[in-house]
Amino acid sequence: MAGQRQPIDLLKAKGKKHLTKAEIEERERTEIKAPADKVTAPAYLTPEQKKKFKKIVKDLRAVNLVSNLDVDALARLVIAQEKYIAVTQELEKQPPHPELKSLLLKLSNLRRETAALADGTYRELCLTNRQYAFSRTWNQETVVVAVNNDEGAVRMEIPCPAGGAKAGEILTGREIPLEGGKLIWEVPAHGSAVFRIKQG
């Protein structure tokens, strides 16, 4: 399916060579072009925004790709760019979840270093509207992952899929005994836990 027809000035700016000189002249003669005699920065832009507006217009005029119809759209673009930069800089100074980067890095390393997480056999252990747990087993290694999507902490009782006496929670470094063949753990609100089952 043919794509949208591009203006001849845009094709020329891209250096397209598939049109003959006669075809280019015909396109230039027949293409409808909106007037570009009032492409000026709107009064609602700040002095700095007007400078950016004029720079963009200058570049577009060089390839005949701007008209009076583009004024408001270009002004909104300049405003949006300025706000995007300001918000991005503020988030970098004060990230809403400063611990998220280190957690993602820890989880990435954990998956790379743990064969069961990467290649183990999957088994669902618990599923509710807001909680979920599964295990992955590879050779003699079993890892259990628990997730709590609730707004409050939840005490989860997860059936252990492998024989063992203890479980080590990898993210906190804590170790707990299995109780009646279950992992019992309070998972924080919107939190998770990763356990490695220990034999003996």
In order of 80, 119, 128, the CA distances from 92 in angstroms are 18, 35, 36
Q: Which residues contact 179 (CB under 8 A, 6 or more apart)?
A: none
Give residue limits of the domains in the chain.
Answer: 33-93, 100-198
Pairing of strands 166-169, 131-138: unpaired
Handedness of CA 51, 56, 57, 63 (dihedral sign): positive
Question: What per-residue confidence (pLDDT) applies to 55?
Answer: 96
**Separation between Cα atoms, residue 141 and residue 198, nearest integer Å:** 8
| Architecture category of domain 100-198 in CATH | Sandwich (2.60)
The terminus-to-terminus CA distance of the chain in angstroms comes to: 66
**Separation between Cα atoms, residue 101 and residue 112, nearest integer Å:** 17
Question: What per-residue confidence (pLDDT) applies to 1?
Answer: 43
Question: What per-residue confidence (pLDDT) applies to 7?
Answer: 61
Question: What per-residue confidence (pLDDT) applies to 91?
Answer: 81
Token pair belonging to 88: 């991005």
CB 128 within 8 A of CB 167: no
CB 187 within 8 A of CB 176: no
CB 147 within 8 A of CB 185: no
Question: What per-residue confidence (pLDDT) applies to 143?
Answer: 94
**Separation between Cα atoms, residue 4 and residue 196, nearest integer Å:** 56
Q: Which residues contact 132 (CB under 8 A, 6 or more apart)?
A: 126, 146, 147, 149
Please state the pTM of the whole predicted model. 0.54
Q: What is the mean pLDDT of each run of 10 residues along the chain (200 residues)?
A: 54 61 63 82 95 95 88 96 92 79 86 89 94 92 94 94 87 90 92 84
Residue length, the chain? Answer: 200
CA dihedral 47, 52, 53, 59 (to 10 degrees): 150
